[in-house]
């Protein structure tokens, strides 16, 4: 069965071209169409951006490609490396704006983010998950999120999204390979749908980087029409993570303004129709905020809400952000919440704070660093 592919807007950067788009360009330069695949292979599969090193291409074409410019549209600003080998990359785009991306070695035997059939798989330390950004800042305004508080600066292009992985690959150590990519960095990926869709096609192209679609996870705060579109465009193959964070419409609207537009009923109906392959589950992200969404009755309600959707829950104790008094519950409360979900038959994992010492836990990607929490409490003001 043919896997659906979205109709894409035209490529705006050479690194965004698919093999057939390269072929068109090359034919217009008087080259044979088959060279399209060769150029794509050099860039995306082999990670070679210097046309002079593309040894199976004629000299004239290499010179023409050099004129075109195949360099990455971003560079590594800084890299912080934690003792668990988690690496936070500060990525600088050509206009000077910065986003973050994180390389996370999968060291645990049991991978909390893996799908059912993967959960028994043993992960060698050389398997890496890369967390990437889709926007500079974010327009969604979630009150517990540093990107949301900062507001949207701009969308990333498809080239900038893919280039985070092309750059990430150059920073791997030993036998490491990037097996999973999660769009959980800065930004709301579905608010930048066109560019993200092209990036997904590029990242999963079998002749390029070649990630398996089920190993690419898109995390969204719940933009219902775009979730439907993603499901249609990729036949449900792209793994979906949804930030829920509350089972009460009133509370969710307070902490996630998107809920005022697409409430819980609408969101849950949308998730129920996401065309997922059999035995796969939607990841429900639930950031635990003390006094806001961490009661055991909320856990009960969460289990009830998810009873009819194949789902697993990732609990993320909230990382403190600058200027907000919101914070994580005590560890015992987090464990009690998890246990309650388990008791209600819902698989729930607590997301480890990998790389926390370099302020690089996924979902903690900020325009400015996290500050120590001032006080704990119910106040929702930021």
Site mask, ligand SF4, residues 233-272, x = CB under 6 A?
----------x-----------------------------
Find the part of the chain contacting ligand SAH (CB under 6 A) among 36-44, 96-104, 105-113, 218-226. 218-226
Residues 97, 117 contacting (CB under 8 angstroms): no
CA distance 172 to 187: 24
List the catalytic residue out of 138, 145, 270, 362. Answer: 362
Task: State the chain's maximal CA–CA distance in angstroms.
Answer: 69
Least distance CB 246 / ligand SF4 (angstroms): 13
Least distance CB 318 / ligand SF4 (angstroms): 11
**Residue 121 CA from chain centroid, whole number:** 22
**Residue 143 carries which DSSP code?**
T
What is the DSSP track for 316-368?
EEPPP-TT----PPPHHHHHHHHHHHHHTT--EEEPP-TTGGGT--TT---SS
Least distance CB 55 / ligand SAH (angstroms): 40
Among 23, 321, 341, 367, indicate the residue that binds ligand SAH (CB under 6 A): 321
Among 14, 36, 148, 208, indicate the residue that binds ligand SF4 (CB under 6 A): 148
Tell me the β-bridge partners of 349.
314
> Mapping DSSP to helix (H, G, I), strand (E, B) and coil, where does residue 131 land?
strand
Least distance CB 156 / ligand SAH (angstroms): 13
Binding of ligand SF4 by 276 (CB under 6 A): no
CA distance 272 to 280: 13
Measured N-to-C along each axis, helices 296-305 and 331-343 cross at an angle, to the nearest 10 degrees, of 40
List the catalytic residue out of 100, 176, 285, 290. Answer: 100
Least distance CB 138 / ligand SF4 (angstroms): 3
- Residue 319 contact, options ligand SAH, ligand SF4, none, Cβ 5-8 Å cut-off depending on partner type: ligand SAH
CA distance 162 to 196: 9
Find the part of the chain contacting ligand SAH (CB under 6 A) among 115-123, 157-165, 215-223, 276-284. 215-223
117 is catalytic: no
Residues 305, 267 contacting (CB under 8 angstroms): no
Pick out residues in 87-126 that bind ligand SF4 (CB under 6 A). Answer: none
With CB atoms as reference, the residue minimizing the distance to ligand SF4 is 148
Residues 209, 44 contacting (CB under 8 angstroms): yes
100 is catalytic: yes
Using CB under 6 A, count the residues that bind ligand SAH: 16
Burial of 180: CB neighbours in 10 Å, binned 0-12, 13-18, 19+? buried
Residues 323, 149 contacting (CB under 8 angstroms): yes
- The contact set with ligand SAH (CB under 6 A) reads 144-145, 184, 188, 219-221, 243, 285, 287, 316, 318-319, 321, 363-364
Q: Name the residues annotated as catalytic.
A: 100, 362
- The contact set with ligand SF4 (CB under 6 A) reads 138, 140-142, 145, 147-148, 187-188, 221, 243
């Amino acid at each position: 069965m043919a896997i659906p592919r979205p109709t894409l807007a035209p490529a705006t950067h050479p690194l965004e071209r698919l093999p057939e788009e390269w072929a068109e360009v090359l034919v217009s330069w008087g080259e044979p169409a088959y060279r399209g695949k060769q150029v794509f292979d050099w860039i995306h599969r082999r990670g070679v951006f210097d046309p002079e090193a593309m040894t199976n291409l004629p000299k004239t074409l290499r010179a023409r490609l050099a004129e075109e410019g195949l360099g990455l549209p971003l560079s590594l600003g800084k890299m912080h490396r934690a003792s668990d080998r988690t690496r936070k990359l500060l990525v600088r785009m050509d206009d000077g704006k910065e986003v973050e991306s994180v390389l996370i070695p999968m060291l645990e035997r049991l991978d909390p983010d893996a799908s059912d059939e993967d959960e028994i798989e043993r992960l060698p330390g050389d398997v890496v998950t890369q967390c990437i950004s889709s926007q500079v800042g974010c327009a969604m305004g979630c009150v517990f999120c540093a990107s949301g508080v900062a507001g949207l600066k701009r969308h990333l292009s498809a080239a900038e999204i893919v280039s985070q992985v092309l750059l990430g690959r150059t920073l791997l150590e030993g036998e490491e390979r990037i097996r999973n990519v999660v769009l959980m960095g800065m930004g709301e990926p579905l608010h930048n749908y066109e560019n993200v869709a092209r990036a997904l096609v590029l990242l999963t192209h079998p002749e390029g980087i070649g990630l398996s679609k089920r190993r690419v996870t898109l995390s969204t705060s719940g933009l219902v029409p775009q979730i439907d579109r993603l499901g249609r465009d990729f036949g449900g193959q792209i793994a979906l993570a949804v930030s829920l964070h509350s089972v009460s419409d009133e509370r969710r609207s307070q902490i996630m303004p998107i809920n005022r537009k697409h409430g819980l009923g609408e969101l849950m109906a949308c998730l129920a129709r996401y065309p997922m392959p059999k035995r796969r589950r939607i990841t429900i992200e639930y950031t635990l905020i003390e006094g806001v969404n961490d009661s055991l009755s909320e856990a009960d309600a969460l289990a009830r809400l998810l009873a009819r959707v194949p789902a697993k829950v990732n609990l993320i104790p909230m990382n403190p952000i600058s200027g907000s008094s919101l914070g994580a519950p005590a560890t015992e409360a987090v464990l009690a919440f998890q246990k309650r979900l388990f008791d209600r038959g819902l698989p729930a994992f607590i997301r480890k704070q990998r790389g926390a010492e370099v302020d690089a836990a996924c979902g903690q990607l900020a325009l400015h660093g996290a500050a120590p929490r001032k006080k704990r409490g119910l106040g929702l003001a930021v």
